[in-house]
Amino acid sequence: MQHEVRLRRRRAGRSETLAIHLTAGKTLMDAALDAGLPIASACGRDQLCARCGLQILEGREYVSAESPKEAEVKLRNRIAPALRLACLARITGPVEVTASYW
Ligand code: FES
């Protein structure tokens, strides 16, 4: 089943939303890369660096629950608890996300 993922970014001081469709179970990183947006990573998606943290604006209930591994990586790298790691968080329904550098 496909779900809409909206990715909000700023362009010339204005908010803009890109929309793509992804199969359930794909990660938020898959969504960003499919949309052609940069995604920070220092570990090459090895679930170590926590640079890939994204803010979920809508549809938090449609993102996989945070695993103990994700919580541990976030804590170790001291990133905001509310961010979700794009390489670990999987979509289960429609969501909207953003990154501070988009
Ligand atoms: S890319 Fe490094 S933890 Fe997600």
Q: In this predicted model, what pLDDT tens digit does every residue of 30-44 receive, in sequence order?
A: 999 999 999 999 999
State residue 81's pLDDT score: 92
pLDDT of residue 98: 98
| 58 Cα–ligand 1 center, Å | 22
Distance 70 CA to ligand 1 centre (A): 10
The DSSP letter of residue 64 is P
Mean pLDDT of 7-25: 95
| Confidence band for 51, pLDDT divided at 50, 70 and 90 | very high
Domain ranges within the chain, ordered by starting residue: 2-98
Tell me which of 3.10.180.10, 3.90.1300.10, 2.70.98.70, 3.10.20.30 is the CATH number of domain 2-98: 3.10.20.30
DSSP conformation class of 44? S
pTM, full prediction: 0.94
Q: How confident is the model at residue 56 (pLDDT cuts 50, 70, 90)?
A: very high
Taking CB atoms and a 6 Å cutoff, what residues make up the pocket around ligand 1?
A: 41, 43, 45, 47-52, 73, 85, 87
Of 102, 69, 100, the C-alpha closest to 83 is 100
> Among all chains, which residue has been given the structure tokens 């939303």?
17
Minimal CA–CA distance to 51: which of 94, 1, 102, 99?
A: 99
